[in-house]
Each structure stands twice: as C-alpha cells, then as structure tokens.
Amino acid sequence: MKFFEVFGLTKRSLSLIFILKIFFGLLLWAIYTFYYTDRSTADIYKYFDDSKILFDILKTHPLHYFKILAGIGNTTPEFDTYYNQMHYWARKIDSSIYNDSHTIIRFNSLVRFFSFGYYNVHTVFICFLSLTGLTGIYKTFIPFLQDKQLELIVIIFFLPSVLFWGSGVLKEGLIFFALGLLIYYTTRLFTIKSILICISVSLLLAFSKFYVWLAIFPGLLFIILINKTGSSHLFLKFFIISVLLGSIGLNIDRFTDIQNPLVTLSQKQIEFNQLAYGNLTDAYHQPIPVAGSIIYIRPLEPTLSSLLKNSPQAFLNTIFRPYLWEVKSPMMLMAGAENILFIVCIILCLVFIKSYDAIRWEYVLFCLSFVFIQFLIIGETTPVLGAIARYKVPALPFLLIAFLLLADKEKLLKQFPFLKRIFRPLS
C-alpha cells in the first residue's frame, strides 16, 4: 500500500513492527485467558462475546443485523430481544461521555465474517488498524523531526503501554487508527479524498470514545487555521480558538438540547465512584468487587469553579500516577516506570530547548492541547489508577512528541557525548 511508503521506515521495518504488535496482542490475550481467568470481567472478551450474539442475528434476521450494524432503525421494541441477550451493549457506566461499547461490538461482528469465531484473527485485524493509525501519526510529524527520527519511531511505535493496550482487541486500537488518519489527512485537507477520510474517521473516533474526539478537536481546528492563514500571531489565534470553543462548549445547553459538559463530567465521576467502590453489579447481576487501585478524588460539582479547583489534583493523578510504591501488578509497574521515563525526558527537553524561532509552535500547541484536555477529563472523573493508566495511553505519544519538538538535540549531545552512540542518525 502506498500509504506505508514512509520516510525513514522500510517496508521490512513496518512488517517487523506489525509482527511485534501481534506478539503483544497475543500476550494480552494470554494474560486475560490464563492469568485473569474470569471471562465476564475481561475487556478483551466482553465485546467479543457480545459480537457473537449480534453476528448470529444474521442467520435468522439479516435485515435486523444490518440495521443494528448501521445504527439505523434499530431502537424499536422488537430489537430489545437482541440487546437483552448482550451483556455490554447498554450499561449505565458506558452511557455518557467516556465511551461507547457499540462500536467495538460492531467491529468484532464484522471481523467474524473472516475469523469464524477464532479470537486471535481479530487480534491481527486490530493490530493492522492500530499500525495504520500510528503510521499516520509518524508521517504527520516526521517532516519536522528528521533529526530525531529514531526518537520519533520509539515514541510512536515502541512505548510499552501503546504496544500492549494498542494491540489488543480493545477500543484503543480503533482510537489509534482514527486518530492517526484524522491528524494526517487534516494537514492535507481540501481534497475530496482527505475530506471524506476525515469525516469517516471523525465519526469512528466520536463513536468509539467521544472524549478523545472532544480533546483533539480544538487542536485540529487550530492546525487547519494555521495552514490556511499562516503562522503570524500564532499564540493569539490559539487563544481565540480556545476561548471561543470553551465558551460554546460550557454554554451549549443554553441553545441546544445537549447536556452541559460540566453536568456530564460530574455524573461520570459519580458513576465511576459507584463502580470503583463496588456499588454496581456486572453484566451477570453479580456485585462488582471494590477496585484494587482505588484513589480518592475530590467530588466534582457541575460548575466551572469546581472543575478549576479540582484540576491540579486531576493533572497530578494523570501525569504522575501510579507512583512506584502504588504498583500492585505488572501492568501498573509498566505504567509507573513509563511515568518516570516521561518525567526525565520532559526535563531534558526543557533544559536543552531550541531557540524560540526554531520551534514549530503550532504542532507543540496542537499536541499539548490534546494532552491537556484528555488528561483533565480523565483526572477529574477516574478514581482508579489502573483505569487512569490505560485511558491516557492514546495521549502519551503526543505528550512526548510535543517536548521532542522543543528539544535541541545538538545541545544535548554536546553536553552528554556518550549519548551519540544511542541517538546516532538512522541510515
């Protein structure tokens, strides 16, 4: 495919990355099959098992299947029979801004045409989609980071959390696919192909995890504006877009039927606290145990002042936790070790920063705005460290890319010559 003709990455290299992703997808499958053996609580099986119920509708009522697949005309009472058989099609905890299980169930039902119900065929499909999205992110930023090609490859393709969670049959794979294509083709807008792709993957992203779409939207609008008007008064344009969109968003209930996002966030925090403290039942009507990595977060009222008051704690929790002394599982250890690595990298990039005029500020602001909004939403609503570590995965490459854009590699290597052995240019 021409899309995979990428500067700095051969087809062989991308093929090896693809195989590595499949390995991590198999590892995730093995962990949730042989170590965590409760299939009813494993995310990799929740939506996979529900997809079988959806797929089986095709055998008896093909029209009903395609209506559910398309989401058109599928809300009449006759469809309740199907939904009542699915355990995760409609759950309170999935009903608001955080996520939507319908998309991943529909995805799995489509893959069943090829997999005949064998789970790891789905792994191969999701790894390919995830790789496509990550390649789109790489292609977007490599023109501005050709002197940091190896670092960019590591940040995008080899972060342990991205490899692990982004290679399983989970929403993260679809999110990376949609994010990568959306960002790449937004920078090439105003052709029929790019517009159609952007619309399609925007819908996929919004239906997979709406808050990720919400977080990326201001930055995309800013990039489009800069590409059309130039980089003069760049910070002023960013400020105007941020204030304008923030004002519209916080008052959207005044002129539409859409619920105020502050109310939605407050409700989501309440729902997540109920889940974390064991006040809800699972799909089989059994009590959900108290979360093992639960933390206290301040109650969020549906007001701007409460959001701002809770923001420092929200960012600290999302950026720095889990601390190493809070680690209770190998997956949390991975997240905790990554946090330390991120802090060290950020400090180095800020100490050895480029001159102001040499920095592509539009892309720094784009990355940081995405990370800022996503981390704020996660930190304000999520009282479980394991969930925080997973939910922030789509933002992690962008956090490091932002600081990579700021870093002066020559200054760093001049101060620490031994690093030249690690960061030597790729041939």
Mean pLDDT for the stretch of residues 150-171 = 94
Most confident of 278-287, 311-320, 322-331: 311-320
Kindly tell me if the per-residue pLDDT of 201 is higher than 90: yes
Mean pLDDT for the stretch of residues 223-244 = 93
Mean pLDDT for the stretch of residues 118-141 = 97
Kindly tell me if the per-residue pLDDT of 73 is higher than 50: yes
Percent of the chain with pLDDT over 90: 63
Separation between Cα atoms, residue 109 and residue 51, nearest integer Å: 5
Separation between Cα atoms, residue 151 and residue 397, nearest integer Å: 11
Q: What is the mean pLDDT of the chain?
A: 90
* Range with the poorest average pLDDT among 232-236, 334-338, 399-403: 334-338
For 87-122, the pLDDT digits (tens) are: 888 764 444 444 478 999 999 999 999 999 999 999
Distances (CA, A) of 231 to 48, 190, 225, 294: 46, 19, 9, 44
Mean pLDDT for the stretch of residues 216-237 = 93
Kindly tell me if the per-residue pLDDT of 133 is higher than 80: yes
Query: Would you state the structure tokens that stand for residue 281, as one six-digit string?
Result: 């039942």
Distances (CA, A) of 102 to 176, 206, 298: 17, 12, 31
| pLDDT at residue 98 in the model | 40
For 304-323, the pLDDT digits (tens) are: 999 999 999 999 999 998 88
Kindly tell me if the per-residue pLDDT of 135 is higher than 90: yes
| pLDDT at residue 283 in the model | 63
Separation between Cα atoms, residue 70 and residue 357, nearest integer Å: 49
* Residue 154 phi, psi dihedral angles, 5° rounding: -65, -45
| pLDDT at residue 20 in the model | 97
Separation between Cα atoms, residue 337 and residue 396, nearest integer Å: 13
Burial of 398 (0-12, 13-18, 19+ CB in 10 A): buried
Separation between Cα atoms, residue 59 and residue 113, nearest integer Å: 12
CA atoms within 13 A on the CB side of 160: 14
Separation between Cα atoms, residue 31 and residue 35, nearest integer Å: 5
**Buried b / exposed e across 275-302, counting CB within 10 Å, b at 16+?**
bbeeeeebbeeeebeebebbbebeebbe
Query: Would you state the structure tokens that stand for residue 280, as one six-digit string?
Result: 């809800």
Mean pLDDT for the stretch of residues 367-372 = 96
Kindly tell me if the per-residue pLDDT of 285 is higher than 80: no
Under a CB-based contact definition with an 8 Å cutoff, are residues 307 and 297 in contact?
no
Residue type for position 375:
F
Q: Which residues pair with 384 in a beta bridge?
A: 294
Kindly tell me if the per-residue pLDDT of 203 is higher than 90: yes
Under a CB-based contact definition with an 8 Å cutoff, are residues 332 and 326 in contact?
yes
What are the structural domain ranges in the chain? 1-208, 230-427
Q: Full-prediction pTM beyond 0.95? A: no
Q: Say which residue the tokens 């010559």 belong to.
A: 417
HEC profile of the chain: CHHHCECCECHHHHHHHHHHHHHHHHHHHHHHHHHCCCHHHCHHHHHHHHHHHHHHHHHHCHHHHHHHHHCCCCCCHHHHHHHHHCCCCCCHHHCCCCCCHHHHHHHHHHHHHHHCCCHHHHHHHHHHHHHHHHHHHHHHHHHHCHHHHHHHHHHHHCCHHHHHHCCCCCHHHHHHHHHHHHHHHHCCCCCHHHHHHHHHHHHHHHHHCHHHHHHHHHHHHHHHHHHHHCCCCHHHHHHHHHHHHHHHHHCHHHCCCCCCHHHHHHHHHHHHHHHHCCCCECCCCCECCCCCCECCCCCCCCCHHHHHHHHHHHHHHHHHCCCHHHCCCHHHHHHHHHHHHHHHHHHHHHHCECCHHHCCHHHHHHHHHHHHHHHHHHHHHCCEHHHHHHHCHHHHHHHHHHHHHHECHHHHHHHCHHHHHCCCCCC
| pLDDT at residue 282 in the model | 66
Kindly tell me if the per-residue pLDDT of 375 is higher than 80: yes
Residue type for position 130:
S
| pLDDT at residue 4 in the model | 93
